[in-house]
Structure 1
């Protein structure tokens, strides 16, 4: 099958041959893992990287005439909140593509609106308040400590230990930082202390739940600071220094597991997610499950959480990527 792999890149002007040369040289890029798996599975693969020139991307798609686009886009011009625009272009041009629709990408990235929808459907979420300006009012009905996040980012962008605030002054400082540094509203959520758990999903009408991943914080003693900051996720030196590991969750009670699975299914369908996703939870000491957010575009590189969970369930990396292709094709065939 002819499959175009579309992804954002800082490399301007590169063509398919340039990217394939890097794949052959085993240069690490997440999109290369996907493309390599597709080629190993026998597909005719064409890589289209873009930075700010969507016209060029559309021209390459028109030349290649793919039967499916594997959408690996994570941002546009370095801004994750604009990733929906690529899906929207693919949709308007009539291309079949993997992953969630532009509407679902927008909705899931809006931390406030998605929480309102999930709460309406009976899913427990942290209470929150949105701050559009630097004028700080005491949060209504929410006790400190709070965790302050950017409204429209993912991958823990804008989240650090300083995101945890214990008073109104700290709240004001962090909200102002989000506005100044990331140019978007801030959302202040009640801080849920407990275990950080990630549940991957593959499918559409019938969704397969993958084994649960837990992020552990062995050398961070203060419970309120055991949070998935940007450094805790992506900085290897930081992770080693503080004993942070991603492991398969152990000793999950039956009731907690059942509630996580129920909430994950509700989130997947209520937010309109497609093909694959990851749902992030907190599990408190008294076994209450809180859904933190739904990620419609999780990291699917080889050796990362989603791929590892898929392998634990019996899908090696090649099968995992092929399963995403299969789910997308079945979705279009059923439409």
Structure 2
């Protein structure tokens, strides 16, 4: 009997680049990589929850992979939808559908960095000293320099040299900027001046692995060694294998992903504080999947590089993610 191809329904939309792994071109590359390794993958481009419902009804599939946390009318930022009916994982859970990635509860926690920090801190996992500042709220008392960013973004959106503030006047100005430009709370953290690490979590159970890396830059930082928005997504960041603190970064990633119930494909970013200790700054529930440029493919090739080159490695990685998720659901 001929083995039936596993069918993957890939969901993306106008906000796929801001929220998830990349734009439609990246999604097409992901589809082709899955098809090249013996799967059947189709893309549904959605702009509303009605589109999502139609895509689910009109396609046959074994599992869903979505680049979207929630449906949003703002394609350039992630933001934070408070409406449960806008969250894709809520819809999938409600219909009992298998999908790749953490469940709806975890996705909502990961999008909101303040909530992520709070959960990890309560579990004794190292995060920066932090305060969320809502519109109209008083400014926190912080040790300067401090770092200000949107609470619910990714890809360094809202990050520039002005994100590092030296006094309360600068703090007030930057918080107001976040409120005005991104329409969400500002997250004020202690400034972490040290090296940035990232750890890729792939798979579940016996397939799971943690791959640590150090973030390097092909170019110049500005006034501060931070990853500004203009340094992300353009291929100027590179990952090299973590030769120091590799075990420590993996242990921290493992603790965080277990605490948050992360699944399938998650990346944990961390930096060294003033004392040289690693602290988690973000847990990314839908990491970028641009071939070569995104950190997940770079890290995978560092540890699983093949003679066939990075394109082959990319196909192996995305198929590992799908196969591990299928196994988690008992889909043989």
TM-score strictly above 0.5: yes
Aligned-residue offset at 1:199 = 1.0
Equivalent residue number for residue 192 of structure 1: 192
Equivalent residue number for residue 266 of structure 2: 277
Structure 1 stretch displaced more, 174-183 or 313-322: 313-322
**Using the alignment, how far apart are the partners of 1:137 and 1:9 within structure 2?**
35
**Using the alignment, how far apart are the partners of 2:80 and 2:185 within structure 1?**
15
Structure 1 stretch displaced more, 164-173 or 92-101: 92-101
Aligned-residue offset at 1:201 = 0.8
Contact 1:214 1:249 (8 Å CA) reproduced: no
- Residue-by-residue CA offset, 1:168-211 (whole Å, 9 max, x unaligned): 01111111111111111111100010111111110223530124
**Using the alignment, how far apart are the partners of 1:112 and 1:10 within structure 2?**
22
Equivalent residue number for residue 104 of structure 1: 106
**Using the alignment, how far apart are the partners of 2:87 and 2:144 within structure 1?**
37
**Residues 221 and 106 of structure 1: CA distance in aligned 2, closer, same or farther (over 3 Å):** closer
Q: Give TM-score, length-normalised by structure 1.
A: 0.83
RMSD (Å) for aligned C-alpha atoms: 2.4
- Where structure 2 has 5 or more consecutive residues not aligned to the other structure, the ranges are 1-5, 17-22, 306-312
Q: Does residue 1:62 correspond to 2:19, yes or no?
A: no
**Residues 235 and 203 of structure 1: CA distance in aligned 2, closer, same or farther (over 3 Å):** closer
Contact 2:151 2:187 (8 Å CA) reproduced: yes
Match of 1:130 among 129, 132, 136: 132
Aligned length: 304
Q: Give TM-score, length-normalised by structure 2.
A: 0.84
**Residues 183 and 329 of structure 1: CA distance in aligned 2, closer, same or farther (over 3 Å):** same
**Residues 218 and 211 of structure 1: CA distance in aligned 2, closer, same or farther (over 3 Å):** same
Equivalent residue number for residue 287 of structure 1: 276
Q: Does residue 1:263 correspond to 2:256, yes or no?
A: no
Please give the secondary structure, in 1, of the residue aligned with 2:300: helix
**Residues 248 and 138 of structure 1: CA distance in aligned 2, closer, same or farther (over 3 Å):** same
Equivalent residue number for residue 328 of structure 1: 325
- Residue-by-residue CA offset, 1:249-282 (whole Å, 9 max, x unaligned): 4541xxx222211110011011121101000011
Equivalent residue number for residue 23 of structure 1: none
**Residues 32 and 284 of structure 1: CA distance in aligned 2, closer, same or farther (over 3 Å):** same
**Using the alignment, how far apart are the partners of 1:7 and 1:221 within structure 2?**
34
Aligned-residue offset at 1:287 = 3.2
Aligned-residue offset at 1:75 = 5.5
**Residues 289 and 321 of structure 1: CA distance in aligned 2, closer, same or farther (over 3 Å):** same
**Using the alignment, how far apart are the partners of 1:272 and 1:40 within structure 2?**
31
**Using the alignment, how far apart are the partners of 2:14 and 2:321 within structure 1?**
22
Contact 2:80 2:152 (8 Å CA) reproduced: no
- Where structure 1 has 5 or more consecutive residues not aligned to the other structure, the ranges are 12-26, 240-244
Contact 1:197 1:215 (8 Å CA) reproduced: no
Please give the secondary structure, in 1, of the residue aligned with 2:201: strand
Equivalent residue number for residue 231 of structure 1: 230
**Using the alignment, how far apart are the partners of 2:15 and 2:283 within structure 1?**
27
Q: Does residue 1:7 correspond to 2:12, yes or no?
A: yes
